[in-house]
């Protein structure tokens, strides 16, 4: 009930302020839990604290196990013990139970070590968050900034009023500035100005997102082209090596024309196809070619094969460049049209 009254009271303040000043009231909110979970120092310290808490839980479980063992032992031996010994053991068990409960309360109670260390861990970062929120509110003229994770009940919250990421950027900037040189500091300030402009203008944020996507697509295209060129270069080297090996083998008389070429049959077939005219006009060094045997490839034929392959690669490259230019032209026209629509 108290939360609802507080929310209604704040809403009335906002409405009255808006009517009195005759201007739009700017409201923002943060999510403190989200901010804390994304601060590296807090995450590391929280992990260490969780390890401590796990150790405390294990100690509590060990105490419980010891007490249960004593109870079972007393239950088993009770018929053999005197009344005084039974009372003594029961007193010891009660003492251990009370000691275990006190230890559990000390570590995990509402004012225990776990809660106090959590508060001490979060306080320095919370102070930085409050300072960052004040800076953002003053710079961007916010009238109210709420904490979504506090006791205040927010029945609805539009994401575009969430300034948690802006607060995180300020915290990260403060940490990075201590390690930057003057040149890096200037570059960082320029980057921060762009980020601030994007925060102020949602249309610019959409445009920046489109530019980032276009840049990523362009980088991927360049990478794909590099991989394709590497593959072609490797294929060319393999084919050239196979042709040289086949030529040397035929010159030495170690490979017959009827035997299939083991190095690169496809390359030999392409070579025969592209240089069929040259083969008919050029005799072999030994005279007539035996029946069924392919003549060895001459230097002129090899140059012709390399020329044809190079010509094909250049044609493919030219075609890709034209396609990229056309795509860039269409993207630029679409962006210009979108900008004009936004301005109108």
| Element housing 27 (H / E) | strand 27-30
pLDDT digits (tens, 9 = 90+) for 142-193: 888 888 887 666 767 777 788 888 888 888 776 665 555 555 556 656 665 6
Classify residue 239: in a domain, yes or no.
Answer: yes
- State yes or no: pLDDT of 28 exceeds 80: yes
**Segments forming the whole domain that contains residue 87:** 2-164
pLDDT digits (tens, 9 = 90+) for 79-94: 888 889 999 999 999 9
- Residues in contact with 97: Cβ distance below 8 Å, sequence separation at least 6, in sequence order: 67
Q: Could you identify the residue written with the tokens 């948690």? A: 164
- Residues in contact with 228: Cβ distance below 8 Å, sequence separation at least 6, in sequence order: none
pTM across the whole model: 0.43
- Mean pLDDT, range 299-307, rounded to an integer: 76
Classify residue 193: in a domain, yes or no.
Answer: no
- Mean pLDDT, range 57-68, rounded to an integer: 93
Is residue 219 domain-shared with residue 160, that is, in the same domain?
A: no
Classify residue 300: in a domain, yes or no.
Answer: yes
| Number of structural domains found in the chain | 2
Q: Could you identify the residue written with the tokens 């979108």? A: 338
Give me the pLDDT at residue 163, please.
84
- Residues in contact with 240: Cβ distance below 8 Å, sequence separation at least 6, in sequence order: 306
3-state secondary structure of 287: strand
Rounded to whole angstroms, how far apart are CA atoms 303 and 301? 5
Is residue 94 domain-shared with residue 232, that is, in the same domain?
A: no
Is residue 115 domain-shared with residue 240, that is, in the same domain?
A: no
* Residue among 218, 142, 154, 135 nearest 3 (CA): 154
Q: Return the minimum-mean-pLDDT range out of 2-6, 36-40, 305-309.
A: 2-6
- State yes or no: pLDDT of 219 exceeds 90: no
Classify residue 33: in a domain, yes or no.
Answer: yes
Classify residue 210: in a domain, yes or no.
Answer: no
Give me the pLDDT at residue 283, please.
44
pLDDT digits (tens, 9 = 90+) for 237-268: 888 888 888 888 877 776 544 444 444 444 44
- Residues in contact with 70: Cβ distance below 8 Å, sequence separation at least 6, in sequence order: 89, 92, 93, 96
300: confidence class by pLDDT, cuts 50, 70, 90: confident
3-state secondary structure of 28: strand
Classify residue 195: in a domain, yes or no.
Answer: no
pLDDT digits (tens, 9 = 90+) for 103-141: 999 999 888 899 988 888 888 888 888 888 888 888 888
3-state secondary structure of 141: coil
């Amino acid at each position: 009930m108290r939360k609802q009254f507080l929310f209604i009271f704040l809403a009335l303040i906002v409405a009255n302020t808006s009517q009195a000043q005759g201007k739009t009231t700017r409201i923002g909110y943060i999510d403190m839990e989200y901010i804390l979970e994304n601060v590296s120092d807090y995450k590391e310290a929280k992990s260490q604290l969780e390890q401590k808490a796990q150790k405390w839980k294990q100690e509590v479980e060990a105490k419980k196990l010891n007490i249960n063992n004593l109870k079972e032992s007393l239950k088993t031996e009770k018929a053999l013990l005197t009344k005084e010994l039974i009372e003594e053991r029961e007193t010891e068990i009660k003492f251990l139970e009370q000691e275990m409960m006190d230890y559990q309360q000390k570590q995990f109670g509402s004012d225990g070590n776990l809660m106090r260390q959590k508060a001490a861990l979060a306080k320095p970062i919370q102070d930085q968050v409050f300072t960052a929120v004040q800076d953002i509110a003053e710079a961007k003229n916010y009238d109210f900034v709420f904490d979504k994770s506090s006791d205040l009940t927010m029945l609805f919250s539009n994401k575009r009023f969430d300034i948690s990421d802006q607060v995180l950027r300020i915290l990260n900037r403060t940490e990075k500035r201590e390690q930057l040189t003057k040149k890096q500091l200037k570059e960082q300030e320029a980057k921060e100005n762009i980020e601030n402009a994007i925060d102020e203008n949602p249309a610019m944020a959409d445009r920046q997102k489109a530019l980032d996507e276009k840049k990523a697509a362009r980088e991927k295209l360049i990478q794909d082209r590099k991989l394709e060129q590497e593959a072609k270069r490797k294929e060319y080297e393999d084919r050239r090596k196979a042709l040289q090996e086949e030529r040397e083998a035929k010159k030495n008389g170690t490979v017959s024309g009827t035997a299939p070429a083991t190095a690169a049959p496809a390359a030999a077939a392409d070579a025969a196809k592209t240089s069929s005219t040259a083969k008919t006009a050029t005799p072999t060094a030994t005279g007539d070619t035996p029946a069924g045997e392919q003549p060895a490839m001459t230097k002129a034929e090899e140059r012709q094969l390399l020329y044809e392959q190079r010509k094909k690669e250049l044609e493919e490259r030219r075609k890709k460049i034209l396609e990229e230019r056309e795509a860039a032209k269409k993207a630029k026209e679409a962006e210009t049209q979108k900008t004009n629509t936004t301005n109108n």
